[in-house]
Structure 1
Amino acid sequence: MHPSLKKLLTSVTLVLASLTFATSTSAASIKKASQSTIHRRTALTYSYAKKMITHNKSGLSGNAGPIFSKKANPETGASSGYSDFLLGLKGNGYRFTAKEKTLLKKNLVIKQNSTAASLANAVMAVQAMGLNARNYKPYGHQKGINLVSRLYRSKITNQTASAQAQVLIAISMSSKFKQPQKAKFSKTSLSTRLAKEQLNNNGWTYNDRQGTIDADTTSMVLTALVRGNSTAASVKTSIQTGQQFLAKIVQRNGAFGYVFNGKTSPNANSTAEAIIALSANPTTHKYVNSAKMTASQTTTPLYAMLTYVNKTGSIKKAATQLYGVGQVNLAIAAYKAALNNRSVYAIN
């Protein structure tokens, strides 16, 4: 066992086998998001998202660009973060119009050499909009494209951990997504691959750099590993220790953040990714808004995330509102789905 890993496992107060974070602390002592707060803040950001899709804008003020545009985004036809944005709308009950579906079809770029990450986003977006990723027909085309098969046959060897996680989530969205012949990977092999990329601190990072604290990538990988449903002992252990890593880095106020020069900057997006990961696992969704992950925690992640929702429905300090609004809505939808024993990513 690596010395740093041994030290971490020795110091962590969580019990690995039980996946329990703070059994000795009363859930009543933590500040939660009330139903009225959840309803009010969700209504604000959901309304903002609906206006964004209606106007095809990545924000409603400032220098917002188009969500879908081949000219603005020639490689993908859509702005970065669009699949989470669409999944967040879908998860909160939005019904996409024929005009909006046509907008996606007219702009989404699918090439023979599209990266695995680009194809994964396309699969998730197409499914979210109510189209068929196994028979996707671009605007004006009669012949459909099986985006799932194309994704399975794409290369993942040069993809980051976060990109690989997106791929695993995408191919796990539907029971109808079958692995084709000549696939370059399977759900099992991709799950094992991600488990092997776990760092010595039990997290993951986009650049595989040891010692890096990356809440976003760790959360994405954990969501993917749960969705991959591997029975391998190594993967199960990887999920458990990854959850411990999240518990170790949660802030006292329940938020998560990115780390730069040793300083953590809590933000809505990192917190949203963690909520999505916690919601993916039936044994951990209680830590979203009911129980503590650590004894020092005073507030739940859901409460913390909702404090970033402005009165307009936009998200404070978001790099872009497409990412901010999209991931906050997706996190809310993921938590709601978990309470009903479902997954926001399960779309047949």
Structure 2
Amino acid sequence: MNKYIKSVLTSATLVIATLTLSTTTNAASIRKASTSTIHSRIARTYSYAKKMIKENKTGLSGQSSSIFSKKLNPDTGAAAGYSDFLLGLKGNGYKFNTKEKTLLRKNLVIKKTTPAATMANAVMAVQAMGLNARDYKPYGHKKGINLVTKLYRTSVSKQTTSAQAQVLIAISMSSEFKQPKGAKFSKASLSARLVKAQLNNHGWTYNNQQGVRDADTTSMVLTGLARGKVNTTNVKDSLLKGQKFLTGIVQPSGAFGYTFNGKTTPNANSTAEAIIALSNDFGMKKYVNNTAMKTSQTRTPLYAMLTYVNKSGSIKNAATQLYGVGQVNLAVAAYKAALKNRSVYTIN
């Protein structure tokens, strides 16, 4: 969740919708989303996402804009949240057509000054669409750009913790993504940066502020460290401590939220980020929809997240539907991949 979403959430009172879901109950009486519920709810939001990409719209009602547009987003060529949106579609089986790939190629902005976080999003989006991030050809260009090499040669020192985690996830997507000569960082050094940024409470926050309970940034870092696979003692210890912190801040409803001034506001995006983190460490996937993380928890995160799916397929209280629909679809895809001992981010 970026600063824009957080500013929206802190100015509004969000509550988990009291929807009636089909559930199963385990020995600890935790409510789990049933197979039928998962299928029906994700079918709605997946259908909504498919319409969004076909219409190149960030939403299907109310105020919306174009997903891909150089005019609207001159520094990126795409609206914030687009890479998770595309990965969510890909992870749920969507096949991007030539028109959609061309739309990205016509609009994606790659500059000499493009920051690492923006480059990481581009790498993930290009790879998700079935294009080659190591030989990306902008529309009308015959010569390709190696976005992975460009990313490796971009400084991460001034990037936020969440941005650094995003970079680590991007460079870990494919076994073909090799560290080039002249790289400004490695998986090991980037992992070490994230370990160093871990707070006293064992979580992470985008601004490195002590005492903050930031589920979103913590989830992103845990996903990054798990995907980076740097097996040093420091990284392993950091992962375990971070996972303990994350499981400790789950709400009784099973949801996760953004905490501001001591008040936690549960929401779909924070819950989705947590599900993605849990799904990318196969020892933790049981907590998505099977086992309680702590005794006060009455529902699973998957159950909680699916309560936010409206009948239309949009996401209740989402700052934008590109973020809401995109991250919910990505979380479901991450969990489905985890059940097969795979990662939604592995795209060779």
- With the length of structure 1 as denominator, give the TM-score of the two structures: 0.92
SS at match of 2:31: coil
Q: Deviations over 1:146-195 (max 9, x none)?
A: 00000000010000000000000000000000000010100011011101
- Quote the residue 1:56 is aligned against: 56
What is the CA distance between 1:27 and its match in structure 2? 5.0
Q: Deviations over 1:182-224 (max 9, x none)?
A: 1010001101110110000110000000111100000000000
Tell whether 2:237 aligns with 1:275: no
What is the CA distance between 1:29 and its match in structure 2? 1.7
- Quote the residue 2:215 is aligned against: 215
What is the CA distance between 1:97 and its match in structure 2? 0.6
Equivalents in 2 of 1:247, 1:97: separation in Å?
A: 39
Q: Deviations over 1:303-325 (max 9, x none)?
A: 00000000000000000000000
Task: Please tell me whether the aligned partners of residues 287 and 293 of structure 1 are also in contact (alpha carbons under 8 angstroms).
Answer: yes
- Quote the residue 1:90 is aligned against: 90
Name the amino acid aligned to 2:161: A
Q: Deviations over 1:95-116 (max 9, x none)?
A: 0010000000000000001000
Equivalents in 2 of 1:106, 1:231: separation in Å?
A: 40
What is the CA distance between 1:247 and its match in structure 2? 1.2
- Listed as ranges, the matches of 1:1-348 within 5 Å are 27-348=27-348
Name the amino acid aligned to 2:338: A
Name the amino acid aligned to 1:108: L
SS at match of 2:264: strand
Equivalents in 2 of 1:260, 1:97: separation in Å?
A: 42
SS at match of 2:102: helix
Q: Aligned Cα RMSD in Å?
A: 0.6
Task: Please tell me whether the aligned partners of residues 214 and 259 of structure 1 are also in contact (alpha carbons under 8 angstroms).
Answer: yes
Task: Please tell me whether the aligned partners of residues 27 and 291 of structure 1 are also in contact (alpha carbons under 8 angstroms).
Answer: no
Task: Please tell me whether the aligned partners of residues 27 and 290 of structure 1 are also in contact (alpha carbons under 8 angstroms).
Answer: no
What is the CA distance between 1:64 and its match in structure 2? 0.3
SS at match of 2:163: helix
Equivalents in 2 of 1:186, 1:259: separation in Å?
A: 32
Unmatched 5+ residue regions in structure 2? 1-25
Task: Please tell me whether the aligned partners of residues 68 and 78 of structure 1 are also in contact (alpha carbons under 8 angstroms).
Answer: yes
Task: Please tell me whether the aligned partners of residues 69 and 78 of structure 1 are also in contact (alpha carbons under 8 angstroms).
Answer: yes
What is the CA distance between 1:63 and its match in structure 2? 1.0
Task: Please tell me whether the aligned partners of residues 58 and 64 of structure 1 are also in contact (alpha carbons under 8 angstroms).
Answer: yes
SS at match of 1:265: strand
What is the CA distance between 1:326 and its match in structure 2? 0.1
What is the CA distance between 1:28 and its match in structure 2? 4.8
Equivalents in 1 of 2:277, 2:124: separation in Å?
A: 17
SS at match of 2:33: coil
Name the amino acid aligned to 1:300: T
Q: Deviations over 1:218-245 (max 9, x none)?
A: 0000000000001110100110000111
Name the amino acid aligned to 1:149: T
Equivalents in 2 of 1:311, 1:229: separation in Å?
A: 39
- Quote the residue 1:21 is aligned against: none
Equivalents in 2 of 1:192, 1:279: separation in Å?
A: 22
Unmatched 5+ residue regions in structure 1? 1-25
